């Protein structure tokens, strides 16, 4: 509800996301053609920690390097 602590928290996360967008869109790294654009989306009121805890839950696995064994397999 309006003025609640939760709303204040969400507003703070939203403001922090705008700071991130400034960095991510910085011209030093985004001068290339078709470079990615970052901005407000449905995750902008989440903290990075919340975002990781909810959406980034894939466990890493080490796999053998691919070796092209034969032309037949590639075909």
Partner 1 sequence: LPARFDWRDKKFVTPVRNQLSCGGCWAFSIVGGIESAYAIKGNLLEELSVQQVIDCSYEDHGCNGGSTISALHWLNKTRVKLARASEYKFKAQTGICHYFPSSDFGVSIRDYKAYNFSGAEEQMMMQLINLGPLAVTVDAVSWQDYLGGIIQHHCSSGEANHAVLITGFDTTGDIPYWIVQNSWGTTWGIDGYVYIKIGENVCGIADTVSAALV
**Can you tell me the distance from the alpha carbon of 38 to that of 62, in angstroms, rounded to the nearest whole number?**
30
Q: Are 14 and 41 in contact (CB under 8 A)?
A: no
Q: Which is nearer to partner 1, 5 or 37 (CB)?
A: 37
Decide: is 38 part of the binding site for partner 1 (CB under 8 A): yes
**Can you tell me the distance from the alpha carbon of 3 to that of 29, in angstroms, rounded to the nearest whole number?**
38
Total binding residues for partner 1 by CB under 8 A? 39
Decide: is 59 part of the binding site for partner 1 (CB under 8 A): yes
Decide: is 10 part of the binding site for partner 1 (CB under 8 A): no
Residue located via tokens 């470079």: 35
Decide: is 16 part of the binding site for partner 1 (CB under 8 A): no
Tokens coding 26: 């910085």
Give the footprint of partner 1 on this chain (CB under 8 A).
Answer: 17, 20-21, 24, 29-30, 32-39, 41-44, 46, 48, 51-66, 68, 74-75
């Amino acid at each position: 509800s309006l003025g609640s602590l939760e709303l204040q928290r969400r507003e703070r996360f939203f403001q922090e996301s705008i700071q991130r967008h400034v960095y991510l869109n910085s011209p030093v790294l985004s001068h290339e053609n078709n470079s990615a654009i970052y901005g407000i989306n449905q995750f902008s009121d989440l903290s990075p920690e919340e975002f990781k805890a909810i959406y980034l839950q894939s466990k890493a696995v080490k796999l053998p390097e691919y070796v092209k064994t034969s032309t037949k397999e590639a075909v």
